Amino acid sequence: MSVESIFPRLEALLPKVQKPIQYVGGELNSTIKDWDSADVRWALMYPDAYEVGLPNQGVAILYEILNELPGTLAERTYAVWPDLEALMRAEGVPQFTVDAHRPVRAFDVLGLSFSTELGYTNMLTALDLAGIPLLAEERGEDDPIVLAGGHAAFNPEPIADFLDAAVLGDGEQISIAISEVIREWKAEGRPGGRDELLMRLAESGGVYVPKFYDVDYHPDGRIKRVAPNRADVPWRVHKHTVMDLDEWPYPKKPLVPLAETVHERFSVEIFRGCTRGCRFCQAGMITRPVRERSITTIGAMVENGIKESGFNEVGLLSLSSADHSEIADVAKGLADRYEGTNTSLSLPSTRVDAFNIDLANEFSRNGRRSGLTFAPEGGSERMRKVINKMVTEEDLIRTVTTAYTQGWRQVKLYFMCGLPTEQDEDVLGIADLAKKVIQAGREATGSRDIRCTVSIGGFVPKPHTPFQWAGQADHETVDRRLKALRDSVRGDKQYGRAIGFRYHDGKPSIVEGLLSRGDRRVGAVIRAVWEDGGRFDGWSEHFSYERWRASAEKAGVDVDWYTTREREENEVLPWDHLDAGLDREWLWQDWQEAVNGSEVEDCRWTPCYDCGVCPTMGTEIQIGPTGRKLLPLTVV
């Protein structure tokens, strides 16, 4: 049965809201497929505003792949701002997709991609506006399967009550497999209803269905056991890994936003995974092993993406782009190809070495020199050893000196505060480093026109990392250290004015910590926050720490127990039954080595140190050189 567009009803509300353009759809390369010719229909949601959600690469890739699949359609939906939410409630307009403005509840699957846990309350708004019961157990046969993916889905326990299912890892192949399971089940006349469909998905071992697992607790609140409550459901659910990125050269037709968005460029992912072993980095741990896209495919994707979108900026994405084994050839090849055109290239650079500056020089041939970014992450040598960020002060000074000598005037440095074992002097070390950077720049250039911006984020211990057992620093400690650092920078007459300082207070990190390492009992807090008006928690103007604390108290949840408490080796962690491939013993050993300041090399260039991923997942490191070339131009 056809589903009607709600646009006529929405249109009447748009003149009354801010940035109405974000709700109208019709972007270049968006797709609307005939409803009746599809038998599997996905609504894909990035649970944040359009301006953040549209550039999201994960959603964009799945949107294209699913729409290419015969008999399957996919549309996008984003979080609506509170002004439109109020009007939609008043007028009874449901959560809609921006493509054909179809009501989200009419779809078979509502797939949510969570890059951050701070999007959880927005999920509840979308479910409620859609008319889908918040609790999975209250959903009926006509409700979509609510499915989570993205990095936060590696511990979906805090939102387990609201989810029907979750998927870990790369979405390309599993989204197609899920579509086929749904298609078959529908073609058979939906035997056993929703429960059987979820059972079919769970039996495969590739989809986690929380309701098929029971959690038992010790009297002191720790988890005793997580166990399947049905036969044929696996004890552990595994992540998915795409092993040949060249076979999946998406996005082929990049979405071009209508409204302003956080990134307005075409991004090509040049590799997935990272084995540098930074102990704080969940993305690096859960996306192992490294799988490179070949230089030929990168060249073809850039060429094709520009042609299809008209973007004049191309970003080469990955967790550490300068580490691609053929990045020098990629950089030179693309810089040669687009020299003299209006196409600019960018590389998120975080590696602290001169090679990175060579790359930046290539990429700025077309004239733009916005600044170089490096991420030492820790302010002292000791701290950097603990987090396994192998950068010495000497490396950093040498690198920035080269940058300033070659004409760069602005350097940005990223750090974290609240790291395990951190002391006040580790954070104050950031000020010393920044001053040395300015001093080196002035000496190298003879100019006082040298800038360094220090950006500091709060550290949050994440699941599936060696720091998953660590006690998180409380926000008072983080705020005190940041204040001392700010005073040290600002009070310096010689260098203070040349140093920019950006940081957030420590409170949002505590909430992120609660949601990252929480278990199913934390769901009651999320719901209480949402019922109290919590929305857009990733936005400082909407975030209320007091609301989270009050809601936790109301739900009987001790925030400190979940955040600042250090876990013991054998404590069952809420995500232990979800398998990112990492060997638990290796993670524990790495945590002990962190405390002792021992470093681990990158297994791309040194022997495998048995983190467990490759044998468990049947994967391997895939790096070049491939001997292939950027040319000839071939359209993907």
Q: Which residues bind ligand SF4 (CB under 6 A)?
A: 275, 288-289, 603, 608-614, 621
- The position carrying tokens 């002191």 is 220
Q: How far is the CB of 616 from ligand SF4 (least distance, A)?
A: 8
Q: How far is the CB of 615 from ligand SF4 (least distance, A)?
A: 6
Q: How far is the CB of 319 from ligand SF4 (least distance, A)?
A: 13
Q: How far is the CB of 586 from ligand SF4 (least distance, A)?
A: 8
Residues β-bridged to residue 456: 415, 503
Q: How far is the CB of 288 from ligand SF4 (least distance, A)?
A: 4
CB 595 within 8 A of CB 383: no
- The phi and psi torsions of 388 (rounded to 5 degrees) equal 65, 40
CA distance 26 to 97: 11
Residue 110 or residue 621: which is nearer to ligand SF4 going by CB?
621
Q: How far is the CB of 612 from ligand SF4 (least distance, A)?
A: 6
Q: How far is the CB of 360 from ligand SF4 (least distance, A)?
A: 28
Q: How far is the CB of 610 from ligand SF4 (least distance, A)?
A: 6
Tell me the three state secondary structure of residue 166. strand
* CA pseudo-torsion sign 381, 385, 389, 392: positive
- The phi and psi torsions of 383 (rounded to 5 degrees) equal -65, -40
Question: Residue 617 carries which side chain, given as an amino acid letter?
Answer: M
Determine what percent of the chain falls in helix, strand and coil, rounding each to the nearest 5: 40, 15, 45
Residue 275 or residue 282: which is nearer to ligand SF4 going by CB?
275
Question: Residue 296 carries which side chain, given as an amino acid letter?
Answer: T
- The phi and psi torsions of 75 (rounded to 5 degrees) equal -130, 165
| Orientation of helix 545-554 relative to helix 523-531, angle to 10° | 120
Tell me the three state secondary structure of residue 500. strand
Residue 207 or residue 281: which is nearer to ligand SF4 going by CB?
281
Q: How far is the CB of 581 from ligand SF4 (least distance, A)?
A: 8
Residue 100: partners with Cβ closer than 8 Å, 6 or more residues away: 5, 25, 32, 35, 75
Residue 240 or residue 517: which is nearer to ligand SF4 going by CB?
240
- The phi and psi torsions of 136 (rounded to 5 degrees) equal -55, -40
Residues β-bridged to residue 455: 414, 502
CB 458 within 8 A of CB 416: yes
193 by Cβ neighbours in 10 Å (0-12 / 13-18 / 19+) ranks as: exposed
Residue 287 or residue 344: which is nearer to ligand SF4 going by CB?
287
Question: Residue 382 carries which side chain, given as an amino acid letter?
Answer: R
CB 405 within 8 A of CB 444: yes
Q: How far is the CB of 613 from ligand SF4 (least distance, A)?
A: 4
End-to-end CA distance of the chain: 36
Q: How far is the CB of 239 from ligand SF4 (least distance, A)?
A: 13
Question: 117-152 burial string, b = 16+ CB within 10 Å, else e?
Answer: bbbbbbbbbbbbbbebebebeebeeebbbbbbbbbb
Residue 291 or residue 535: which is nearer to ligand SF4 going by CB?
291
Q: How far is the CB of 326 from ligand SF4 (least distance, A)?
A: 20
Query: Would you say how long the chain is, in residues?
Result: 636
- Nearest to 56, CA basis, from 83, 79, 23: 79
Residue 433 or residue 580: which is nearer to ligand SF4 going by CB?
580
Residue 358 or residue 593: which is nearer to ligand SF4 going by CB?
593
C-beta atoms surrounding 596 within 10 Å: 9
Joined tokens for residue 243: 């092993």
